[in-house]
Amino acid sequence: MTTLLSRDLLLRVLMAALVLGAGVWVASCTEWVEVDVPRPARGEAAKNPLYVTQQLVRRLGATVATPSSLSTLPPPRATLLLTSWYWDLFPERAQRLKGWVEAGGHLVLYANNLDHQQLKGWLPISQLKPPRNKRPEPEGDDEEEDAEVEPEEGEGQESATDTAMRRLGLMIQTPCHTTVEPDSVPASYADGGRRFKICSYVASGWKLQSATPPLWALEGRDGPMMLRVARGQGQITVILPAGLLDNERVLKGDNGLATVTALQARPGAQVWFVSEEAREPLLSWLWHQAWVVVLLGAAALLLALWRGARR
């Protein structure tokens, strides 16, 4: 009996020692570091990709409007950021939009809207494709080219895994581009600084162009990345970097400064954001617009069914 108890106790001690040893080994091979984990957007920011931009404009003292459609145009001298895919559901809207701009409105568009069938006939800005014989260059930071960093004395050579992870990080991070305001346009800010670090995706070789002198521009490596020209008494601003005003990008680098300039956001200004074309459901619209006809039709249908029923 004593022998069995001794063996059982010995096995338990050995098991405990093994578990303890495994725990010590795992702890010695584990490195604990603090990692910043971005919190997902909540509330209005989770539903509205331009929420941060709108809050930025509000804090500068401008009035922000977010109509669900372009059925009503902004007041004269206001700024309209048009990113809706379905704003042209009604053909007459393009002519009304043109008239609004020529009367003094300020229209802001992304470059992917320049080929829109109802816009390209009168927009004074176009998008120039890169030459076919030019090989597209990979996206990257214009200030920090992908140069290899030589290890200092006393440091070990970088392992293949570390090199691969570093290159992967460079690939997935948003590329930044150095842009400047040309001397031909007034400086946007009182300090006279004309260099902006724009962090967004831009297809290599693409640029904006206009036959008329620009009122404002940001020049990148391949040409203008943002451009504003006059149209009648109004103005049109085109933004080439994709998604520059989105929540996750507008505060990176100097994107916020460029956004404020592009939208001409200032105290007292009015900035409209039209990013969707919301429509009331058909049944609700019929009830609100013609409820009398709906009731009469339902009554006629019930009467017809009653008269045709078998008695």
Q: Is the dihedral of CA 189, 194, 77, 71 positive or negative?
A: negative
Model pLDDT, residue 310: 66
Model pLDDT, residue 260: 97
Model pLDDT, residue 7: 74
Model pLDDT, residue 134: 55
Model pLDDT, residue 154: 46
Dist. CA 94–CA 103, nearest whole Å: 14
Beta bridge pairs of residue 270: 63
Model pLDDT, residue 147: 44
Model pLDDT, residue 179: 95
Tens digit of each residue's pLDDT (9 = 90 or more) over 282-311: 566 566 667 788 788 888 888 888 777 765
Residue whose structure tokens are 């300090």: 191
Measure the N-to-C terminal CA separation of the chain; round to a whole number of Å: 96
Tens digit of each residue's pLDDT (9 = 90 or more) over 15-40: 888 888 888 888 888 877 777 776 77
- Cβ proximity of 202 and 215 under 8 Å: no
Dist. CA 267–CA 61, nearest whole Å: 4
Instruction: Please list the ranges in the chain whose pLDDT falls under 70.
Output: 1-5, 38, 133-172, 277-289, 310-311
Kindly report each contact of residues 43-46 with a partner whose C-beta sits within 8 Å and lies 24 or more positions away, as own/partner: 45/247
Kindly report each contact of residues 92-98 with a partner whose C-beta sits within 8 Å and lies 24 or more positions away, as own/partner: 93/118, 94/118, 94/119, 97/70, 97/73, 98/122
Model pLDDT, residue 151: 47
